Amino acid sequence: MKVAVVGATGLVGSKMLQVLEERNFPVTKLFPVASERSVGKTIKFKGKRYKIISMEAAVGKKPDVAIFSAGGSVSKEWAPRFAEKGTVVIDNSSAWRMDPDKKLIVPEVNAQVLTKKDKIIANPNCSTIQMVVALKPLHDVYRIKRVVVSTYQSVTGTGVKAVNQLMNERKGKSVDRAYPYQIDLNLLPHIDVFTENGYTKEEMKMVNETKKIMGDDTIRVTATTVRVPVIGGHSESVNVEFEKDFDLETIRKILSAAPGIVLVDDPANLQYPMPLMAHDKDEVFVGRIRRDESQPNTLNLWVVSDNLRKGAATNAVQIAEYLLSQGILKLKSKKTPATV
């Protein structure tokens, strides 16, 4: 299996390499790809050093799968070129998510819609991924009418520059800002750019992507997304109105049995999900489960996940694993890993 990781030197790209190694994905040839200024440098994977190559060179290698995390403009330009060579592209940017001809996939929710014809597959927004993992098993039983979500998102979702801003502010050092304001001891109700309707692009991503992934345009979603001075994961307060009534014990049983979810819901013993708990883990943690007493058939949840893993890298690798399990991606040989 020839695998290209595009954007291999970034926060998400580095995490993709880590996840590929941890999950023992059958990489026989690895092609780490980054910008021209990084070409020739090396990265480490499974104890070996691999040279970073250019995008043009990677296309010529005809990898079986290319996992992208290099921004929307890069994906728009290069994903079709890889696809033309027969490579399956799993793209972590927003470039293809709402394209009606491209699938938007969270494996626990809708992997079954994938076919051999899908050469460019979109990885959803991090905050959407963790929410729909928690919502899908409940939707199957009770049918969701409306979702009100407020997010508390880690600075790692912005990138290295944002992490450096937070840590330098914490040390009292001068900073090169990723945000328009201080983030340490602060929070910003502003993720991505504002749109004409007063919502940010991040908020509208959650609205539109949820409907597409769940395959149900009747679900109404409204979102407020907030950046917080946290490293390790995104947290979400999710209020869900169902068509049918429910009891809380059944809700807990459904969530406990659902793939990819860890239930942490014991407030009497101060047990509830936190970013520190989710850091560097692949699961979605759900707790603070309680009935909304202000209206019928409505539930409150607290949902936490590592945004660099399940919110990006792990989800992308899980898509590749699913393709492999279904024979859409096929192993050609069992060679030992080769250094580029």
Burial of 226 (0-12, 13-18, 19+ CB in 10 A): middle
d(CA 63, CA 89): 10
Options 139, 190, 234, 279, the catalytic residue:
234
Options 126, 139, 190, 279, the catalytic residue:
126
- 279 catalytically annotated: no
- 190 catalytically annotated: no
Both structure tokens of 331: 């192993």
**Could you give the 3-state DSSP secondary structure of residue 72?**
helix
Amino acid at 65: V
Backbone torsions φ then ψ of 138, nearest 5 degrees:
-75, -40
Ramachandran region, residue 47 (left: φ > 0; alpha: ψ -120 to 50; beta: rest):
left
Going by DSSP bridges, is the β-strand pair 298-305/284-291 parallel, antiparallel, or unpaired?
antiparallel
Residues sharing a CB contact under 8 Å with residue 325, sequence separation 6 or more, in sequence order: none
Burial of 119 (0-12, 13-18, 19+ CB in 10 A): middle
Residues sharing a CB contact under 8 Å with residue 248, sequence separation 6 or more, in sequence order: 289, 290, 291
Q: Which residues are catalytic?
A: 126, 234
